[in-house]
Structure 1
Amino acid sequence: MTTKIDDIRQDPVITRLLEKMPRRVADSFDDEQLAHLRNAIGAREWGRHSIDLRGTVKLAKWRYYYVILAGRNRRSLSDQQLKLARLLTASLIAGFTVIAILVGLVVLYLIKSALGINLIDGWSLGLWTWFDTTFL
């Protein structure tokens, strides 16, 4: 979330910051300084996430913490970050599609084999034999 310099004094983070200072000190900041302060402390605001899970895990003699945050992305991304996001999204969609097609083909092959249909006489992947001995 980017704050314009024109309305920086209306920003909730800046307003809370300035309220904690004496009036003469708060009035001494110009808009550019306040914008830089907003950028420096604005990243520490964690309160607006749909999912906010935090905890610790003890493994052997050490304790580790975890933080899982999820919510609507309000940041403005650079061109490089947008390209990377598009590439990652396309890769995930392609990967999911390939896995879904492979699972579908395996299911179809198992159904075909269960019905006793042979497409090529004398040839088999051996998948049905493994499935039959393992699960049935």
Structure 2
Amino acid sequence: MTQNRSNQEYTHVKQLLSKMDPEIAASFSYKQRKALHKAINTRGWNNHAIDFRPTLVMPFLPWSFYIVLLGGVNKRSLSNTERITAAIMFLISLLIVGVILVGVVLVVLYLLKSWLGIDIFADESLGLWDYFKTLFD
């Protein structure tokens, strides 16, 4: 198994070299090819806390699709575009959490108002208090 894995890893180096100009690829020494092999085999960059890669095979189609969801601590520096995207995502997340919290607070205040018997608009109700009471009957 290690021999097969080793051949596969050298195949990656050969594939990399095949995409270069033939003169440049031929100029690599044995030590340089070993260094490429070592760099390709460094798997530290692909360890993720969340690594979900399902494959979707469609019947009667000659190809399949895959989806990748990765998550973890970002160890690389961000480009300007990534910084802007991260800031926008943070603001959107903050907005969503804020809206949810405001909604929960309003529902709790409404239930507290109804429990205390405070009637702000005569003969008007959301029906939330009646529904809440039926949960405990």
The TM-score, its normalising length taken from structure 2, stands at 0.53
1:126 partner amino acid:
G
Distance of 2:73 and 2:97 partners within structure 1: 23
Distance of 1:54 and 1:135 partners within structure 2: 42
The correspondence of residues 48-127 of structure 1 with structure 2, limited to 5 A, is 49=48, 51=49, 70-127=71-128
Q: Bigger relative contact order, structure 1 or 2, given CA contacts below 8 A and separation 6+?
A: 1
* Cα distance change of structure 1 residues 85 and 41 upon mapping to structure 2, 3 Å threshold: farther
Distance of 2:134 and 2:42 partners within structure 1: 60
2:115 partner amino acid:
A
Unpaired runs of at least 5, structure 1: 1-16, 18-23, 57-64
SS at the partner of 1:45? helix
Unpaired runs of at least 5, structure 2: 1-12, 14-28, 55-65
SS at the partner of 2:46? coil
Identity of aligned residues (%): 35
SS at the partner of 2:103? helix
Matched residue, 2:16: none
* Cα distance change of structure 1 residues 42 and 93 upon mapping to structure 2, 3 Å threshold: farther
- Deviation digits for residues 37-87 of structure 1, max 9, x if unmatched? 95x77687334x4x356698xxxxxxxx99875432112222222111111
The structure richer in strand per residue is 1
Contact 1:113 1:128 (8 Å CA) reproduced? yes
Moved more, 67-76 or 115-124: 67-76
The TM-score, its normalising length taken from structure 1, stands at 0.53
Could you say what the CA RMSD is over the residues aligned between the two structures, in angstroms? 4.1
Say how many residue pairs are matched. Answer: 103
2:126 partner amino acid:
L
1:46 partner amino acid:
N
Matched residue, 1:60: none
Contact 1:52 1:67 (8 Å CA) reproduced? no
